[in-house]
Structure 1
Amino acid sequence: MCSVFLILTGLLFLRPTASAASPLNSVDAGSGNHGAESLLIHTDRDLYIAGENLYFQLYLVPSQQNQAPSRIAYILLQRITNENIETFIVRLSDHIAFGSIYLHDTLPTGNYRLLCFTNRMRRYEGNNYITKPIFIVNRFDETLEKISTARQDIDDQMQEEFQDKRDHGSQNNKVKISTNRTTFGRRDQVDLSIEPKDFADSIAYLSVSVAQDKSYVFPDHAFSGRQVLNRQPGSIYQNKSRPGEVFAETRHLILEGMVRDKNTGIGLEGLRVLLSTPDSLLNLQYAQTLDDGSFYFAINDFYLNKPLYLILDTSTMNSPALIEVADRFATKGPEKHEQPVFSAGHDEFIAASQEYVSIQKVYEINHQSKYSDLIKNKEFRPLVYAEPNYTVYPEMYEPLRDFREISRELIGQLRTRLSGGTYTTRMLNYQTAYQFFEDAPAIFLDAIPVSDIHQIMHLGTEKVKSIEVHNYRWAYGEMRFAGIMAVFSRNEAWRLLELPESSKVLEGMSFLEPSLYYDPDYSQATNTQATIPDLRQLLAWRPGIRLTSGENLLIRFHTGDIKGKYLIRLVGVTAGGEMFSTVSEITVE
């Protein structure tokens, strides 16, 4: 089946060649997997000034293969060189995610794009990524050379075709939109009515943007054809022998990696990888490497915004090994980016936009507002034990200069000896009360495994908050411990740990929190509002709209102080995966 990209200005979706009413979830995944999961993205505009917020809505079209839908998606902001500028992780609730991305002031003028995918989509070689082109102009760019260069490649006929498609879109009579008038004054109230006309499904999900017409600069026809985004050469994702559901993030983030022999680079089977994060309670997960050396962890909300420590269990190692962690944001896209269409009046429009943004910076005007109904999953600490057998609080005793003294004076269950410059430790077995375990206990500092007790010997009582002693022969899943000692510091001593070469430390992962666009309500104008210029080129942005068949909706917003033509663009998808859109316009005098 031949695949094409269907674009509505500010919108992109990957779908097969078919009639306008073809269901979106019949998308070809690029490896013979029909009905695979895919995404739809709608942005508030195409053209931005560096220093503005970009608003988006992402919609997941679920697979037709009775698979649980992904609840996590990824958005990359990329340069024309395919370099990632920023990367974001978003949660999907009822298949939708929306929010805003701040476009930093330092971004140079040029073509950019948003690249979107789920972990399941990334599993396939080929075209199962979604791209949305945007154009960013630096606020201090006075020459606008790239605008002039782009305009030279557009002839009059292309300009006329683009303007027609931009202003009218693809009308398919799914939804009718109308306003109380077509012409409005400054700070005037606009009532936008949304009426469903021809729904095969009872529910649809929409987003609506109202922006100046010249904010849209990418035409439909420039995006036809197949875009292929292959993974980086040598990526660990090229192994497709694993079941697809391993890669589907239906609830939590998945951390993927491999363990390879340090000398041969061959994946090693049967090694145990430990995962922990600095904490005041002893947490630990582990995973066993598969036959190709790969491993997987489910990352629940407990681990968010915290460093993640991956350490190999030496008891499972027979040769030097290294941990590789998959870069979930590594992609290799087409070198050619879609080109914008600029008209003769765009120079003046962009210069005015630069000034508007600068003025709003001076007045510290920010139209972003937080979304109160944040999506959070339950945090789960994978505790090694519910509570320790003993806990020692060194501050309750006389100061001791190092951990050897602490061990000798305060921890009767621990025997520490120094021989030939090397420390050895053994723990008293609580169940026998008089015998020490033959093996060394497991030692943790702030919940991070410590393979060499030398690394904590410098800690005196002033640096130690508590010491937990669990002197049982303890089973934790398949792991066995000859006692456990967990030391918790006062000064984040875990930061100074020297980890084995085979280990990996990852920066904390976080989700982009949902946010909304705030537009002022002048029906109850205050004196403060009257003195502040309203230089909004985006009059309204409404994501997350749920429309039921037979139900009319009313969206109310107000115009600002900028005169001109504004386009109302509605983009939606039915519960069955059928996309629709419609465009209207108003004028502000």
Structure 2
Amino acid sequence: MSAESLLVKTNTSVILTGETLYYQLYCLSKTNVFSDISEIAYVEVINDKKESVFKNKISLKNGIGSGDYFIPTILKTGNYKLIAYTNWMLNNSTNNFFEKDFTIINPFQENINMVIDSSYNKVDVSQDKAKNSSENILLSLDKEKYSKREKASLIIPKTLDRGNYFLNIRKIDHMSTNTNNETSNANINLNQEIKILPETRGEIITGYIIAKAANSSLDSKIVTLSVSGKNFIFKTSKTDRNGKFIFLIDKQTSTSDCYVQLSELDKENYTIVIDKNPSPDLSNLVFSKKTFISAKYLKAIQERSLATQVENVYFSQKKDSLIETDNNDFFFQPTEKKYNLDDFERFRTFKETIIEIVIELNFKDYNQVPSLYLRDIRYNITQSPEPCLVLVDGLQIQDINALLNYNTYQIESISVVDRPYCYGPKIFNGIVSVITKNKDFATIYNDKNVLKTTILRPEPAKVYFEPKYNTSSNLSRIPDYRYQLVWKPNIVFKNNDMTIPFYTSDISGDYQISLEGITETGKYVHFYKTFKTE
């Protein structure tokens, strides 16, 4: 595998607390075409003390991803860096992460550390437009001026090169700083010694076990990981001779709580440790000590801050939509037999329910602990010496005493795989999967041998809010103080005419349309157009 790099583009380089920073990621090969190596990227915001104040994990599909960061009011005014990297990039000899400068302004902060630059020159929009007239040919609008809350139509002709683009439409406030630099992706090469594995098929979670007693074996121990919930994840791994294990998570969920445990009789003799995510060396980052903002901008900052506060008050009416993932199947499907308990007469306890309804199972002690076993209903005999794998909302339960008196009115279904099932390094003697109505059994389950931890999960894909005043009367009495009219990532263009509608807001002024992206041949392109709202 060759080296790769990241290119990150944002909606602005100057942002206020209370606003959202949007970003688009392109993972590129040495020839600047989309890289197919990594499926996971990391984005961090670094302050001038070289501390990470935000970290996000981004799913990459065919080298492309996107995300956002709501700027909290706890951040101080100053210069920040947005860095981005993949695990595979950390093996580069140089340029092992992307960096981009940007400025955060906190209007509520006293003693803002900014240099007041009185040499203020307003940008002439018409001159900007003329200078890039050759590029402007590509973008056209149905009008050049719009009223407030009027529908506009952006037309992108089929002459645009095939590729992946993002659309950014926001108010021009002429706010410029000295923080508009980003790293170059040229001359990337891998180190001869590869230390960090690439996340080529999903997220990698690693860790190790520690024996509490000397001379205890660390080798070939089965470790399981559960991300509990409606769309649960269950993974298995086997330790090496040093006790190290690795999990590959290839399923998207929004849950970050996970449960790790040894699936062994002597599990209480070991301690489980999860490794920290690898990260780049930030010691060589260089920050400007001052934030350069013209004194003429102070009024504009106040107006923009007021607009942001109004927008945040009505956040609940303007929520973004999460895109549901397609992969909702459990690992054992479709081999199971499912019992929806509402289809049967309800019994008070779990034990009674198994005995009376789930005919493939019976109870038997295993190592002096009550356990569930498969039985051959033809001969009424137990099929195997080891018990079944028991999952409740995806969490492995090795001591089912926690279930015996559980209120089955809280159970939605019980699924059974009534034969040996090979999953990862272990063959389980059948599977019992219990799904509760609230999908929250893990929150009440307590086992000292289960490590509960939090892992960083990829941000779910979103469709960002855009009002539609022609179809929604609910928004007619709600203020619309948007400076950011449109942020639309991951636009795939395939040489067809494309029309993108949008609505102006209650904020008058000049707006800029930016269409940026990477063509299929690896060329970065940027087109823009301006219009007015009166």
Give percent identity, aligned residues only. Answer: 20
Which aligned pairs between 1:275-286 and structure 2 lie closer than 5 A? Answer: 275-278=225-228, 284-286=234-236
Which residue of the partner structure matches residue 115 of structure 2?
A: 151
Q: Give me the CA root mean square deviation.
A: 5.5
Shift of 1:470: 6.8
1:274 paired with 2:224, answer yes
C-alpha separation between the residues in 2 aligned to 1:291 and 1:239? 26
Which residue of 229, 241, 256 corresponds with 2:205? 256
* The one of 16, 19, 44 aligned to 1:49: 16
1:121-200 → structure 2 map (5 Å cutoff)? 121-124=89-92, 127-141=95-109, 143=110, 145-146=111-112, 149-151=113-115, 175-176=135-136, 187=148
Q: Equivalent residue for 1:16?
A: none
Task: Give distance in 1, aligned partners of 2:193 and 2:79.
Answer: 33
Following superposition of structure 1 onto structure 2, how do residues 516-555 of structure 1 map, counting pairs within 5 Å? 516=464, 518=466, 535-538=481-484, 541=487, 543-545=489-491
Separation in 2, partners of 1:376, 1:440? 35
AA of the residue aligned to 2:395: I
Given the alignment of the two structures, is residue 503 of structure 1 paired with residue 471 of structure 2, yes or no?
Answer: no
| Residue equivalent to 1:25 | none
Output the CA distance in 1 between the equivalents of 2:321 and 2:372: 53
Q: Distance in 2 between matches of 1:464 and 1:195?
A: 55
- Which of the numbers 501, 519, 522 marks the counterpart of 1:577? 522
The residue that corresponds to 1:18 in the other structure is: none
Partner of 2:174: 214
In the other structure, the counterpart of 2:249 is 299
Q: Distance in 1 between matches of 2:529 and 2:457?
A: 41
CA distance in 1, matches of 2:340, 2:474: 59
Q: Comparing 385-394 with 98-107, which one deviates more in the overlay?
A: 385-394
Alpha-carbon distance between aligned partners in 1 of 2:441 and 2:320, rounded to the nearest angstrom: 38
* Distance in 1 separating the partners of 2:215 and 2:512: 56
In structure 2, the residue matched to 1:444 is: 390
Letter in 2 for 1:449: Q
**Could you say which residue in structure 2 is the equivalent of 1:430?**
376
Residues 100-499 of structure 1 mapped to structure 2, 5 A cutoff = 100-124=68-92, 127-141=95-109, 143=110, 145-146=111-112, 149-151=113-115, 175-176=135-136, 187=148, 203=163, 205=165, 207-220=167-180, 241=194, 247-250=198-201, 253-262=202-211, 268-278=218-228, 284-290=234-240, 293-301=243-251, 304-305=254-255, 307-314=257-264, 320-327=270-277, 332-334=281-283, 336-338=286-288, 340-361=291-312, 370=321, 374=323, 376-383=325-332, 386-387=335-336, 396=345, 399=348, 403=351, 414=362, 416=364, 423=369, 427=373, 430=376, 433=379, 439-442=385-388, 444-446=390-392, 447-459=394-406, 478-481=425-428, 492-499=440-447
Map of 1:14 onto structure 2: none
Cα distance 1:271–1:366, how it changes in 2: closer, same or farther (>3 A)?
same
TM-score, normalization by structure 1: 0.66
Shift of 1:286: 1.5
Partners of 2:437 and 2:517 lie apart in 1 by 53
Residues in 2 aligned to 1:36 and 1:239: alpha-carbon distance in whole angstroms:
12
Give the deviation of 1:350 after TM superposition. 0.9
**SS at structure 1 position matched to 2:293:** coil
Q: Which amino acid aligns with 2:483?
A: Q
Mark the CA change 1:43 to 1:493 in structure 2 (over 3 Å): closer, same or farther: closer
- Structure-2 separation of matches of 1:391 and 1:214: 61
Q: From the superposition, tell whether residues 39 and 375 of structure 1 become closer, same or farther in structure 2 (CA, over 3 Å).
A: farther
Aligned twin of 1:231: none
- Separation of aligned partners in 2, 1:45 and 1:359: 20
Gaps spanning 5+ residues in structure 1: where? 1-32, 228-237
Residue pair 1:414, 1:427 contacting (<8 A) in 2 also: yes
User: What residue is the counterpart of 1:234 in the other structure?
Assistant: none
- Offset of 1:351 from its aligned partner? 1.5
d(CA) in 1 for partners of 2:232, 2:145: 63
Instruction: Check whether the contact 2:35–2:63 (CA below 8 A) recurs between aligned residues.
Output: no
Aligned-pair distance for 1:385? 8.4
CA distance in 1, matches of 2:416, 2:478: 63
Distance 2:448 2:90 in 1: 32
| 3-state SS in 2 of match to 1:314 | coil
* Map of 1:40 onto structure 2: 7
The residue identity in structure 2 corresponding to 1:287 is S
Q: Does residue 88 in structure 1 map to residue 36 in structure 2?
A: no
In 1, Cα distance between equivalents of 2:136 and 2:56: 34
Q: 2 CA distance for matches of 1:455 and 1:365?
A: 39
Point out where structure 2 has 5 or more consecutive residues left out of the alignment: none
Equivalents in 2 of 1:392, 1:562: separation in Å? Answer: 56
Give the C-alpha shift of residue 117 in structure 1: 2.8
Paired residues of 1:120 and 1:247 also in contact (CA < 8 A): yes
Residue in 1 that maps onto 2:65: 97
Please report the TM-score for the alignment, with normalisation by the length of structure 2.
0.71
CA distance in 2, matches of 1:466, 1:115: 45
Deviation at 1:139, TM superposition (A): 4.9
1:314-334, CA deviations, whole angstroms, 9 ceiling, x for partnerless residues?
269796342314437x55534
2: CA distance, partners of 1:78 / 1:394: 55
Query: How far did residue 62 of structure 1 move?
Result: 3.9
Shift of 1:345: 0.9
**Larger of the two Rg values belongs to structure:** 1
* Distance apart, 1:298 and its partner CA: 3.3
Counterpart of 1:297 in 2: which secondary structure? strand
Whole-Å Cα distance in 2 between the matches of residues 399 and 347 of structure 1? 67
Structure 1 range deviating more: 525-534 or 352-361: 525-534
Q: State the partner residue of 1:6.
A: none
CA contact (8 A) 2:321 2:464 kept: yes
Does the 8 A contact of 2:415 with 2:432 survive in 1?
yes
| 1:450 alignment partner AA | I
Counterpart among 513, 516, 523 of residue 461 in structure 2 = 513
Measure, in 1, the Cα distance between the counterparts of 2:226 and 2:533.
Answer: 57
